Structure 1
Amino acid sequence: MHHRHTIKALLALAVFMLLTLAAYWPGLQGGFLFDDFANLPALGATGPIYTWPNFWRYITAGTADPTGRPLTLLTFLLDARNWPADPFPFKRTSLILHLLNGALLYALLSRLGRLLAFEYRNYRIAALLGAALWLLHPLFVSTTLYIVQREAMLPATCVLIGLLIWLRGRDQLCRGNIRSGLIWSVIGLGGFTLLGILAKANGALLPFYALLIEVIVLKPRHALPSGQAILAHRGVMWILGVVPAAAILAYLTRIAVLGMLHGDNMGIRPWSTAQRLLTEPRILLDYLSLLWVPRAFSSGLFNDQYVASTSLLHPATTLPAIIAILVMIGVAWRLRKHYPAWSLAILFYFAGQLLESTSIGLELYFEHRNYVPALLMFWPLGLWLADTRTLSLLKRGLMIVLPLGLALMTHASTEVWGNEHAQALVWADVNPNSARAQTNAAQAQMQAGRPHDAARRLEKLLTTQPDQVQLAFNLIAAHCMTGRITPDDIAAAGTAMHGSANTGSLFANWFDRILPVAVAGDCPGLTPAVLLDLINDGLQNPKLAGAGRQQDFLYMRGRIALARHQPDVALANYLRALDLQIRPGFALEAAARLGAAGYPTQGIQLLDHYQQEKDQVIPPDFGMPTVHEWVLTRQNYWPHELEHLRATLLEQEKEHPAPDDQPPVDTHAPSGQNTSPSNQENRS
């Protein structure tokens, strides 16, 4: 009988997975988005990854988290070994991973249902429904089809496998098999926590999930035999469960306390630590609303318009949201004995939000933060629907209607994800006050040959958000397409550069595209002098005073000098930029650009300066950057690249010698140029 029910459940799971595949299929035709372009080009940064040296340079190149997320980087090699690449294989692999996570979730929910002593058929159906509703939920489209968020999906895989293996180990201990029980427990709780961390830091929350299952499900119903089994289990839970969980809580508390005591505004963030802690309960309620009242079109990747709470009473929903979250947690804990499934699902969810929705200075809101926390969210509903004691016609209908309804909403969402132009316009309609959404829509309209529409869209929001550089720069691009830019456009861009808290990678990317246009005179009113003024506006902005930001602005000034055929001015800017942060990569790129522009002598002088100052190279950050630097040193990578470039420049100099009366290079700032610091930093 049990075997027959298992086969039926697995067949039903296969049907739901095929339904998920059909719902997601239109979205596989979409392209790369936003942070994909900040992360995936590492696939070709030091050459195609077809050799072991290139592999080790790539796999250690991550900068997110201290670990660099190498497990996530490793999975991208399934889809491409070089850059640029086709987005389809990346999205296909992510969808396969989502389906795998659904199958693993079914296995975990089945195991938990059996541990709670529900009747066999009931908990299989409940697990099937809980997994199906999670698989088909439209909220997770923005995780599954956003390629870079594979780093949010892999921790789910590690959490699910880790919990299943740990539960097997505990079962072995209950049976008195100490050695095998310890091995399985350590692999599940220790090994897969480590793997989860190597995918993304929130994989470190696996011990929290295991402790919740232990306290709510296992300890009251499945006591261990006395003696060695208890000692072994307690040792595992303390060393691999309690201690890591306590360390994470202490770390988060320390960040919160230090941030509030010192008034930390988190650098580029427009809100403080205290304001973030006040805001996140409101956001968590928004997440829960999206989970329980699903919709086909949510805010997607654009949440920059979300207003932070500045006090308990502003906005008015702040205090009620905090109280609601505390009440939910308190009630869930209080009812853990009588309603263990509901209690576990709620506490599991809030435990899963600890790292990304508390004191760490991340952006306020992202939908992908629900992918792991919501794993158990729909299981209690599945248990209620599968309860044969009250199995009404309504319940039977809901078992069919709910998955199909979610599938239709997900399909509608993925159709938009598969059409980049439609996606941009939909997101702009859903997020009318988001500068990112409106900029993205304007770019789509410009690509479609509708610059007038793009300009109207940007002008409307720029009047209320004058410090948004992305609006001002793209307005210039739109007006270039319509004929010419106006003094008002340039003034608006200057105002944005003066007031922006962070230009991110936006200004550098826009500069790369627009400099050739300005040099060629293809946009009346836009000249290299205008671009230089915008850079100097940024240099005068005290919010953009970091050394890395200064370096990037000075590098751009050097490029303008090259466009004006002023190699000595370019070199002076490059030398000042290099002195701010001695980095071999910067020296290599700047010298190569001088050589490519026809000035090998200046390129050699820059390399000579680097050789004199290389002992001042800034040390790498703790974690994977240190490992990456060790790999590069072992491979003699930078010396080899620099010597190769030097040889190329020397050969070029022989073929095109510099004039004998060429003046010496002034390594100080050129006369009349602003010497204030500048900025360039990626948006997280």
Structure 2
Amino acid sequence: MTVHNRFLFPILLVCTLLLAGWAYVPGLHGGFLFDDFANLPALGATGPIDNWPTFWRYLTSGTADPTGRPLTLLTFLLDAHNWPAAPYPFKRTSLILHLLNGVLLYALLTKLGRLLDLDERHCKLAALLGAALWLLHPLLVSATLYIVQREAMLPATCVMAGLLLWLHGRQQLIKGQLKAGTLWSVLGLGGFTLLGVLAKANGALLPLYALLIEVIVLAPRQLPTITTARRLHRAIMLVFGIVPATAILIYLLYIGAHGLWVGGPEGIRPWSIGQRLLTEPRVLMDYLKLLWLPRPLSSGLFNDQYAASTSWLHPDTTLPALLAVLALIAAAWHWRKRHPALALAILFYFAGQLLESSSIPLELYFEHRNYVPALLMFWPLGLWLADTRAMRLPKYALMLVLPLTLTWMTHARTEVWGNVQTQASIWARINPDSPRAQANVAQIEMQTDHPRAAIHRLETLLAARPDQAQLAFNLVSARCMTGGVSHADLAAAQQAMSGSPSTGILFTHWFENMLPTAMSGHCPGLTLKSLLDLINTGLQNPKLSAAGPQQDLTYLRGRIAIAQHQPNEALTDFTHALDLQVRPGFALEAAANLGAHGYPLQGLLLLNHYRQVQDHVAPPGFGMPMVHAWVLARENYWPHEFTHLRHQLSLDAQTDSANTVPSGSTRSTPR
């Protein structure tokens, strides 16, 4: 290769990275979204992360997946050590990671092209085009700029790094370097699968990707000729490839069969496992349409209006979508010898969707689920364009037009992501039937002093979706900004509360905002009694009968008793709530709340009650929760917190034995 060609492709790769960086810059100025608020506050949950004890408490605090995704949590420390924090550093780091993944993809595609015995120019040009089209694709904006979805990006990093190391190790085995080949292969398949899983569960699919590459690209062309090397290679593929991939498939089949047999997930999702399995082929075909027919704007994060399939023929796209998915998989397998790159790209995509688009009862639709599966999607197109023996001028034109068009679309989309108001408005317009999208834009309208627009929006959708608590609660908030709430507004909120399958943290956050308003009387019609009625309605909702929702609602009822200067009634509610789920953190928070409002004696009584029932604390769940509990025990965290709070409450009780003067010295929450 000439010196000119040696530097040409690195220069073109750098230009591609600069182009992608330019396309994403507008989106770096956006805000936090949706699940960001449920995950990132862990950065300050037990204080600033500026020492080893808080570091280990934070790193083991994850609850998603059995692993808790600690690798993802670790990367958030690059951006902040406490909460609240600014969103810009998080988005900047995610963009850097996206660009790094583009470089890794170029390296992987180059490696795969060489294994197909392509000439160097064809191989590198195809790799550059395949990586550029992926890197610049607008569909990936929702993974890159949605901060919490760094957990979707890191498995891509681990998958590509793991495959590159495994391929290097395989080459070493072919050369007869048995020790080095074994080490690199095990590190790639075993080590980086583990790292990928520590970022998100779909990192566990790396062995399946390796098996596809082995069967489609490598086995027909390259196998170790030395008997010992061949045995080592087969043993590595069995232990680190076939066994974990088979375990995943068996697990998914079990989840699907169990769901079809016993039903579910009742009270969590509005659809059954059978309906989900019928729906996901439609979802996958929608994803493929967005990948191959991209557009500047999309539905974004809010897809809760996506209708589940209830039968093979309802909606009428269900059966055609299923047949299309099966046809693509069958065709790819049939083409694996004549068109290995195309077959690999198709099968890699569907393999990448196995965990999130099959039997596990996750939400039906999210764009960011395409980040890893689409890695090889545009490589076959790159291979076709790079072969300029025919149609040279049209292909050169497409090499220029396609990346630039995707860059323009991505830039247009990131401009939307960089403006919270514009983003909320556009997503609400694209998703008119999404309660989340409408509630989100209504909140923005209220924040920008347009409550009447929020009222009109919420009333319209609430009439069709009366069970949507997020619509009803936000309507009450908007009414408070325009003069007060009516009996009809409160009745609508109660109806929603009586039928809501889950309020999550929605009602708690809304309650925290509205309790001071109800106490001050600044919103005519909204009183402490009306808030109490909503809570009691929720307590009677059979869909909220689990211990968790019951504890949350009973605790809020105790908060109202405190606001009504009824400390004994509050103590009764807090005690009952604690008995529903004996948790040390809950006991500390409730007792501190009593003390902060001037009732330290009741706080001490609650701590005494916890001492009596602490043997009933539920054991931690399997995985990272067990590690987290061990870390807390090793740090003597809970005894220290209880001792500190008990001492402070005792001091407050001594200075105010009549419980009439609020004490400002007690912490409202444990450290």
Category of TM-score, reference length = shorter chain = over 0.9
Paired with 1:528 and 1:266, the residues of 2 have a C-alpha distance of 32
Deviations 1:343-364 (A, max 9, x none): 0000000000000000001011
Q: Which residue of 1 aligns with 2:619?
A: 619
Shift, 1:505, TM fit: 1.1
Runs of 4+ in 1 over 4 A off after TM superposition: none
Supply the AA of the counterpart residue of 1:350: F
Are residue 188 (structure 1) and residue 171 (structure 2) matched?
Answer: no
The question of whether the paired residues in 2 share the 8 Å contact of 1:126 and 1:383 is answered with yes
Shift, 1:223, TM fit: 2.0
The question of whether the paired residues in 2 share the 8 Å contact of 1:156 and 1:372 is answered with yes
Q: Which residue of 2 aligns with 1:225?
A: 225
Paired with 2:235 and 2:266, the residues of 1 have a C-alpha distance of 38
Shift, 1:539, TM fit: 1.1
Question: Aligned ranges for residues 478-493 of structure 1 at < 5 Å?
Answer: 478-493=478-493
Q: Which residue of 2 aligns with 1:132?
A: 132
Deviations 1:230-286 (A, max 9, x none): 000000000000000000000000001111011223541111111110000000000
Q: Which residue of 1 aligns with 2:118?
A: 118
Secondary structure of the corresponding residue to residue 247 of structure 2: helix
Question: Aligned ranges for residues 465-476 of structure 1 at < 5 Å?
Answer: 465-476=465-476
Shift, 1:540, TM fit: 1.2
Deviations 1:131-190 (A, max 9, x none): 000000000111000000000000000000000000000000111111100000000000
Q: Which residue of 2 aligns with 1:347?
A: 347
The question of whether the paired residues in 2 share the 8 Å contact of 1:217 and 1:340 is answered with yes
Paired with 1:58 and 1:315, the residues of 2 have a C-alpha distance of 45
Deviations 1:361-418 (A, max 9, x none): 1011011100000000000000011102114211111111111111111111111111
Secondary structure of the corresponding residue to residue 128 of structure 2: helix
Are residue 642 (structure 1) and residue 642 (structure 2) matched?
Answer: yes
Secondary structure of the corresponding residue to residue 237 of structure 1: helix
- Would you say how many aligned residue pairs link Structure 1 and Structure 2? 660
Q: Which residue of 2 aligns with 1:179?
A: 179
Q: Which residue of 2 aligns with 1:450?
A: 450
Q: Which residue of 1 aligns with 2:663?
A: none
Paired with 2:223 and 2:389, the residues of 1 have a C-alpha distance of 29
Secondary structure of the corresponding residue to residue 224 of structure 1: coil
Q: Which residue of 2 aligns with 1:666?
A: none
Q: Which residue of 1 aligns with 2:602?
A: 602
The question of whether the paired residues in 1 share the 8 Å contact of 2:26 and 2:414 is answered with yes
Supply the AA of the counterpart residue of 2:472: A
The question of whether the paired residues in 1 share the 8 Å contact of 2:139 and 2:367 is answered with yes
Are residue 501 (structure 1) and residue 489 (structure 2) matched?
Answer: no
Q: Which residue of 2 aligns with 1:388?
A: 388
The question of whether the paired residues in 1 share the 8 Å contact of 2:599 and 2:659 is answered with no
Deviations 1:92-125 (A, max 9, x none): 0000000000000000000001111112101111
Supply the AA of the counterpart residue of 2:19: L
Supply the AA of the counterpart residue of 2:609: H
Farther-moved stretch of structure 1 (256-265 vs 544-553): 256-265
The question of whether the paired residues in 2 share the 8 Å contact of 1:133 and 1:402 is answered with yes
Paired with 1:265 and 1:157, the residues of 2 have a C-alpha distance of 32
Are residue 158 (structure 1) and residue 158 (structure 2) matched?
Answer: yes
Paired with 1:307 and 1:641, the residues of 2 have a C-alpha distance of 47
The question of whether the paired residues in 1 share the 8 Å contact of 2:653 and 2:659 is answered with no
For structure 1, the residue ranges without an aligned partner over 5 or more in a row are 661-684
Supply the AA of the counterpart residue of 2:104: L
The question of whether the paired residues in 2 share the 8 Å contact of 1:266 and 1:361 is answered with no
Q: Which residue of 2 aligns with 1:584?
A: 584
Shift, 1:659, TM fit: 7.0
Question: Aligned ranges for residues 3-22 of structure 1 at < 5 Å?
Answer: 4-22=4-22
Secondary structure of the corresponding residue to residue 464 of structure 2: coil
Q: Which residue of 2 aligns with 1:87?
A: 87
Secondary structure of the corresponding residue to residue 390 of structure 1: coil
Q: Which residue of 2 aligns with 1:665?
A: none
The question of whether the paired residues in 2 share the 8 Å contact of 1:205 and 1:245 is answered with yes
- Cα 1:3–1:190 shift into 2, 3 Å: farther
Paired with 1:442 and 1:8, the residues of 2 have a C-alpha distance of 51
Q: Which residue of 2 aligns with 1:313?
A: 313
Question: Aligned ranges for residues 504-653 of structure 1 at < 5 Å?
Answer: 504-653=504-653
The question of whether the paired residues in 1 share the 8 Å contact of 2:267 and 2:502 is answered with no
Shift, 1:226, TM fit: 3.3
Q: Which residue of 1 aligns with 2:424?
A: 424
The question of whether the paired residues in 2 share the 8 Å contact of 1:2 and 1:120 is answered with no
Q: Which residue of 2 aligns with 1:365?
A: 365
Q: Which residue of 1 aligns with 2:197?
A: 197
Shift, 1:2, TM fit: 5.5
- Cα 1:352–1:401 shift into 2, 3 Å: same
Are residue 35 (structure 1) and residue 18 (structure 2) matched?
Answer: no
Paired with 1:267 and 1:335, the residues of 2 have a C-alpha distance of 44
The question of whether the paired residues in 1 share the 8 Å contact of 2:176 and 2:226 is answered with no
Shift, 1:533, TM fit: 0.3
Q: Which residue of 2 aligns with 1:49?
A: 49
Aligned-residue CA RMSD (Å): 0.9
Paired with 2:349 and 2:147, the residues of 1 have a C-alpha distance of 24
Paired with 2:484 and 2:615, the residues of 1 have a C-alpha distance of 48
Q: Which residue of 2 aligns with 1:148?
A: 148
Farther-moved stretch of structure 1 (256-265 vs 507-516): 256-265
The question of whether the paired residues in 2 share the 8 Å contact of 1:604 and 1:646 is answered with yes
Identity between Structure 1 and Structure 2 (%): 66
TM-score of the superposition, structure 2-length normalised?
0.98
Supply the AA of the counterpart residue of 2:374: A
The question of whether the paired residues in 1 share the 8 Å contact of 2:353 and 2:369 is answered with yes
Q: Which residue of 2 aligns with 1:106?
A: 106
Paired with 1:552 and 1:27, the residues of 2 have a C-alpha distance of 36
